[in-house]
Amino acid sequence: MNSQVQTEERAFEAALGDAVREVDSLIDRLIPVPPGPEARVFEAMRYAALGPGKRLRPFLVLQSARLFHVARRSALQVGAAVEMVHAYSLVHDDLPAMDDSDLRRGRATCHKQFDDATAVLAGDGLLTLAFEVLAHADTHGDPAVRCELVSALALAAGNQGMVGGQMFDLIAEHRPDLDIGAITRLQRLKTGALIAFSCEAGAILGKAPHEVRMALRGYAHDLGLAFQIADDLLDVEGSSDATGKPVGQDAVAGKATFVSILGAERARAQARLLVDQAVAHLDIFDANTELLRQTARFVVERHA
Amino acid sequence: MNSQVQTEERAFEAALGDAVREVDSLIDRLIPVPPGPEARVFEAMRYAALGPGKRLRPFLVLQSARLFHVARRSALQVGAAVEMVHAYSLVHDDLPAMDDSDLRRGRATCHKQFDDATAVLAGDGLLTLAFEVLAHADTHGDPAVRCELVSALALAAGNQGMVGGQMFDLIAEHRPDLDIGAITRLQRLKTGALIAFSCEAGAILGKAPHEVRMALRGYAHDLGLAFQIADDLLDVEGSSDATGKPVGQDAVAGKATFVSILGAERARAQARLLVDQAVAHLDIFDANTELLRQTARFVVERHA
pLDDT digits (tens, 9 = 90+) for B142-169: 999 999 999 999 999 999 999 999 999 9
Question: How distant is the Cα of A280 from the closest Cα of chain B, in angstroms?
Answer: 31
Q: Which residues contact A233 (CB under 8 A, 6 or more apart)?
A: A259, A264, A267, A268, A271
* Residue A83 per-residue DSSP state: H
User: Is the predicted pLDDT of residue B252 greater than 90, yes or no?
Assistant: no
- Between B41, B116, B158, which is nearest A167 by CB? B41
pLDDT of residue A180: 92
Tell me which residues of chain A have a pLDDT lower than 70: 1, 242-243, 303-304
Q: How far is CA B144 from CA A203, B135, B140, B205, B208, in A?
A: 20, 10, 9, 10, 14
Q: Which residues contact B28 (CB under 8 A, 6 or more apart)?
A: B46, B50
H or E element in which residue B58 lies: helix B56-66
Asked if the model's pLDDT at residue B131 lies above 70, the reply is: yes
> Residue B197 above 90 pLDDT?
yes
pLDDT at site B254: 74
Which residues of B, range 66-125, sit inside 8 Å of A by Cβ? 88, 92, 95-98, 111, 115-121, 123-125
- Residue B45 forms contact with A (CB below 8 Å): yes
The amino acid sitting at A96 is: P
B304 band by pLDDT with thresholds 50, 70 and 90? low
Q: What is the pLDDT of residue B61?
A: 98
Q: What are the domain boundaries of chain B?
A: 3-301
Residues of chain B contacting A256 with CB distance shorter than 8 Å: none
Read off the pLDDT of residues B279-291 as tens digits, 9 standing for 90 and up: 999 999 988 999 9
Q: What is the rounded CA–CA span in Å between residue A209 and residue A191?
A: 25
Summarize the confidence of residues B208-230 as an average pLDDT. Answer: 95
The pTM for the full model equals 0.95
Residue A164's CB: how many other CB atoms inside 10 A?
A: 26
Report d(CA A61, CA A64) in Å as an integer: 5
Task: Please judge whether B164 and A136 are an interchain contact, meaning their C-beta atoms are less than 8 angstroms apart.
Answer: no
Helical H segments across chain A, by residue range? 3-30, 39-49, 56-66, 72-94, 110-113, 116-135, 143-157, 162-172, 180-187, 193-205, 210-237, 240-243, 249-252, 258-262, 264-280, 290-301
Q: Is A272 an 8 Å CB contact of chain B? A: no
Contacting B residues, span 14-33, partner chain A, CB-CB under 8 Å: 31
- Chain A residues with CB under 8 Å of B35 CB are none
Q: Which residues of B touch A143 (CB under 8 A)?
A: 142-144, 146-147
* A79 to chain B, closest Cα gap in Å: 18
In terms of Cβ atoms closer than 10 Å to its own Cβ (0-12, 13-18, 19+), residue B4 is exposed
CA nearest to A99 within chain B? B117
C-alpha angle A259/A264/A270, rounded to 5°? 80
Taking an 8 Å cut-off on Cβ atoms, the answer to whether B128 and A127 are in contact is yes
Q: Between chains, do A128 and B158 touch, taking CB under 8 Å as contact?
A: yes
Model pLDDT, residue B7: 85
User: How much of chain B, in percent, has pLDDT values that exceed 70?
Assistant: 98
Strand B103-104 and strand A103-104: the pairing is unpaired
Q: Is the pLDDT of residue B1 over 70?
A: no
Residue B141 has φ and ψ, to the nearest 5°, of -70, -25
Looking at every residue in chain B, the average pLDDT score rounds to: 93
Chain A residues with beta carbon closer than 8 angstroms to that of B91 = none
- Phi first, then psi: give them for residue A209, nearest 5 degrees: -65, 160
Contact check, Cβ <8 Å, B185/A117: no
Comparing B240 with A123, the larger pLDDT belongs to: A123
Q: Over range B206-226, report the average pLDDT.
A: 96
Residue B235 or A112, more confident: A112
- B45 CB neighbours in chain A (<8 A) are 159
Q: Residue A108: beta bridge partners?
A: A103
pLDDT of B278 strictly over 70: yes
- A164 in contact with chain B, both atoms CB, cutoff 8 A: yes
- Is B135 close to A129, i.e. CB distance below 8 A? no
* Residues ≥6 apart with Cβ < 8 Å to A196: A156, A217, A220, A221, A224
CATH pick for B3-301 out of 1.10.600.10, 1.10.150.20, 3.30.70.890, 3.30.1200.10: 1.10.600.10
Where residue B267 falls (left for φ over 0; alpha for ψ -120 to 50; beta otherwise) is alpha
Q: Please tell me which residue of chain B has the smallest CA distance to A31.
A: B159
Predicted pLDDT at A265: 94
Q: What is the CA radius of gyration of chain A?
A: 19
| Residue B243 pLDDT greater than 80, yes or no | no
pLDDT of amino acid B250: 75
Report the alpha-carbon distance of residue A50 to residue A58 in Å, rounded: 13
Q: Using CA atoms, how far apart are residues B148 and A207, in angstroms rounded to an integer?
A: 21
CA B285: distance to chain centroid?
A: 23
Distance CA B41, CA B122 (A): 5
What pLDDT, in 10s, does the model give residues A21-53? 999 999 999 999 999 899 999 999 999 999 999
**SS3 category, B95:** coil
Q: Which residues of A touch B166 (CB under 8 A)?
A: 41, 121
Start-end of H helices in B136-209:
143-157, 162-172, 180-187, 193-205
